[in-house]
Amino acid sequence: MTKISVNKKVFETDSDPSTPMLWVLRDEFGLTGTKFGCGIAQCGSCTIHVDGEARRSCVTPISAVVGKEVTTIEGLSPDSSHPLQKAWIAEDAPQCGYCQSGQIMAAAAMLKKTPKPTDADIDQAMNGIICRCGTYNRVRAAIKLAAMNGGK
Does position 55 bind other proteins by CB under 8 A?
yes
Does position 114 bind other proteins by CB under 8 A?
yes
Q: Which one-letter amino acid corresponds to residue 72?
A: T
Instruction: Tell me the closest approach of the beta carbon of residue 114 to other proteins, in angstroms.
Output: 5
Sheet arrangement for strand 69-71: 9-13, 2-6, 69-71, 47-50, 53-56
DSSP-derived secondary structure for 69-84: EEE-GGGSSTTS-SHH
Q: Give bridge partners of residue 49 from the DSSP assignment.
A: 54, 71
Enclosing H/E stretch for 111: helix 100-113
Pick from 106, 145, 146, 147: which binds other proteins (CB under 8 A)? 106
Pick from 68, 112, 138, 152: which binds other proteins (CB under 8 A)? 112
- DSSP 3-state of 69: strand
Please tell me the distance from the alpha carbon of residue 8 to that of residue 108, in angstroms, as a whole number: 17
Please tell me the distance from the alpha carbon of residue 81 to that of residue 127, in angstroms, as a whole number: 25
Binding mask 67-96 for other proteins (x = CB under 8 A): ------------------------------
Closer residue to other proteins (CB): 80 or 124: 124
Does position 46 bind other proteins by CB under 8 A?
no
- Segment lying near other proteins (by CB under 8 A), choices 22-30, 46-54, 84-92, 134-142: 46-54
Residues in contact with other proteins by the rule CB under 8 A: 18, 40-42, 44, 47, 53-56, 59-61, 64, 106-107, 109-110, 112-114, 121, 124-128
